[in-house]
Chain A
Amino acid sequence: MRRFALIAVPYLWLLALFLVPFLIVLKISLSDIAMAIPPYTPTLDLSAGWEGIKSFFAALDLENFEFLTTDDLYWKAYLSSLQIAFIATIATLIVGYPIAYGMANAPDHWRPTLMMLVILPFWTSFLIRVYAWVGILSSEGYLNQILLWSGVINEPLTILNTNVAVYIGIVYTYLPFMILPIYSALERMDESLLEAAEDLGCSRISAFWLVTIPLSKNGIIAGCFLVFIPTIGEFVIPSLLGGSKTLMIGKVLWEEFFNNRDWPVASAVAVILLLILIIPIILFQRNEQKQREAEG
C-alpha cells in the first residue's frame, strides 16, 4: 500500500502536468484555427458521446504541418537554429577545452575552488548573464569604448543584434556544461600514459593529440550534446542579443503564439521541434550508456 502511494503520487503528477499537456499540443497541432476562445476547432465534446468522439477525430488533419512546408520562414528557422547551435557548440568546445585542461592540471588543492568557480555562474540568473552582454556589445558599449580608446578601431563595431552576439551569448551561458564533463574525463586520465608516450619519442603536442584527446573523447561528446540540445530551442539569447535577421525556432514559436495568436501553427512548430530533438537526445543517451558500460 505504501509502495503504491509512493509510485502513484509522482506518477499521476507527471501524467497530468507533463504527458497530458503534451498530448494537447499534439491534438491542437492537428486542429484548425478559429475565431473563438480557445482559438481552434474542434474541441472534444464528451457529452455528445461516441458521435462526439468520432467527429472530433474526423476533424483532425495535417493542414498545419503542410502549412509549415509551404511558408519557407519555418524550415529556414529550423535549419538556422541547427546551424547556430552547431557553430556555437564548436565555439564552446574551443573555449571550454583549454579551461577544463588547465583545471585538470592544476594543483590538487586548487581544484575544489576552480570547480566552484565554474559552477557558480550556473546558479546565477541566466537572464542577467545574457543581459550583461548587452552593455558590453552595444555600439556605445564597453568593448567598443576600449577598442576606440586604444586606437584599434576608428568606427564602433556593430556586434549587438547580429549572429556573432548570439554565438558569444551561447558560449558564455553554456560554458559550464562543456567544461564539467571534459574536466571529469581529463581528471580520471592516467598521467603515466602521457609519460609513456613521451618516453617512446612523442613530442608533447603529438602526445596531446594521440593520447589526451582520444581519452577525453567521451567528455567532449557529452559536453557537445549538453550544449547543442538546449541551444536549438533557445529563446532568450536570440531575442535579446540577436537581430531581426537572427532566425531561431524558439523565437518563431514564441511570436507565433503571443503575437500572431495562431495556436495550431505554434503547436505544429513545437511538435516538429521535438521530432528534430529526438535524434541528438538518443545519440547522447547512447553515448552515456556506452560510457557507463565501459566503466562498469
Chain B
Amino acid sequence: MRRMTWFNATSLTLGFAFLYLPMLILIIYSFNDSKLVTVWAGFSTRWYGELFRNEAFLDAAWVTLRVAVISSTIATALGTMAALVLVRAGRFAGRTLFSGMIYAPLVMPEVITGLSLLLLFIGIGLDRGIFTIILAHTTFSMCYVSVVVSSRLVSFDRSLEEAALDLGCSPAQAFRLVTLPIIAPAVISGWLLAFTLSLDDLVIASFTAGPSSTTLPIKIWSSIRLGLSPEINALSTLLISFVAVGVIAASLTSKRASLRRQAEERAAVAA
C-alpha cells in the first residue's frame, strides 16, 4: 500500500525545488544584460558572445576536453581490466593490496591525491602539463570504472560464456562476442562517469597542471574567487545543459538496450 500523502508531496516538491532552483536561477541570470549578476536589467545573450570571444576560456575548454577524452578512455580500459581481475582472477599474490588500491582512491580526499601525485611528478622530474593531468585523472577514475563494471560482472551469467567456449570459441573470441556485449552498458557508463569526473575536477588538476595547461575548472575557479561573473553564469548554463542532454539521452538509450539484451539473454537460456 503506497500512500501519496500531502506530507510526501510537500517533501518531494520542496526537496526538488532545493535541488534545482539554484541552478535554474543561475541559468536565468545568465541571460541578464547587466554586469551586476544579481540585478536584472533585461534579457540579453551578450555574455555568451563575450564568452566565445574570450580566448582564455576557449583554450581552457580545449585542454579540458582533450584531457577528459584521453583519460576516460584509458581509465575505462584499465578499470575494466581491474574489474575482471577483481571478479574473475581468483586468488593471486597481493590480491588484498590490489583491491585496497582500487577502493582507497574512492575515499581519498582530493587534496591528498593531488599532493601525492605532484610530489611524485616532481620527484621523477616529469614536467607538469596536459600529460600529468591525464595520468592523474586516469588513476582515480579507473577505480570508479572498475567499481561500476565489477558490479555488472558479478550478476553476469557465466554459463553463456562457457557455452561459447564449448561451441569452439577461443577465450578471446568468447570475451569479444559474449562478455563484452553484455557488460557494454556498464563499460559505457563507466566511461561517462570517468569523463564527467575529469571534466569536473578542480583540486587534483590544480596540483598536477603546469602553467601552460589551465583546465576549465581551474579557469572558472580563478575567476569566481574574485566574485560573481556573468560570463561564468553563461558558461555554467552551457555546461549544465550539455550534461543534462547527455545524461538523459544516455539513460534512455541504455534502458532500451538493456531491455533488449535481457530479452535476448532469456531467449538464449531458454533455447
Q: List CB contacts (< 8 Å) of B148-193 with chain A.
A: 171
Residue pair A136, B22 in contact (C-beta under 8 Å): yes
Residue pair B23, A102 in contact (C-beta under 8 Å): no
Question: How many CB-defined contacts (below 8 Å) exist between A and B?
Answer: 221
A19 within 8 A of B: yes
A45 within 8 A of B: no
A147 CA / B122 CA spacing, docked (Å): 51
Count of chain B residues with Cβ under 8 Å from any Cβ of A?
Answer: 80
A279 CA / B5 CA spacing, docked (Å): 40
A106-B4, A120-B244 are contacts. A136–B25 as well, Cβ < 8 Å? Answer: yes
A119 CB, min distance to chain B CBs, angstroms: 8
Chain A residues, Cβ within 8 Å of B236: 125, 128, 131-132
A132-B26, A135-B25 are contacts. A117–B16 as well, Cβ < 8 Å? Answer: yes
Contact mask A25-56 → B, CB, 8 Å, 1/0? 10010000000001000000000000000000
Residue of A at shortest CB range from B22?
Answer: A132
Q: Is the interface of A mostly helix, strand, loop or mixed?
A: helix
Residue pair B139, A99 in contact (C-beta under 8 Å): no
Count of chain A residues with Cβ under 8 Å from any Cβ of B?
Answer: 81
A240-B224, A253-B115 are contacts. A120–B247 as well, Cβ < 8 Å? Answer: yes
Can you sample 11 A-B contacts with CB below 8 Å? A14-B101, A14-B102, A17-B138, A95-B15, A121-B23, A123-B247, A134-B227, A229-B107, A235-B203, A250-B109, A266-B115
Please give the residue numbers on chain B whose beta carbons come within 8 Å of chain A beta carbons, in ascending order. Answer: 1-5, 7-9, 11-12, 15-16, 18-20, 22-23, 25-26, 29, 37-39, 78-79, 81-82, 84-85, 89, 92, 94, 97-98, 101-102, 104-105, 107-112, 115-117, 119-120, 122-123, 135-136, 138-139, 142, 146, 171, 196, 199-200, 202-203, 217, 220-221, 224-225, 227-228, 232, 236, 239-240, 243-244, 246-248, 251
10 closest A-B pairs by beta carbon, nearest first, are: A233-B109, A99-B15, A21-B116, A98-B11, A132-B22, A102-B8, A102-B12, A21-B120, A10-B82, A14-B101
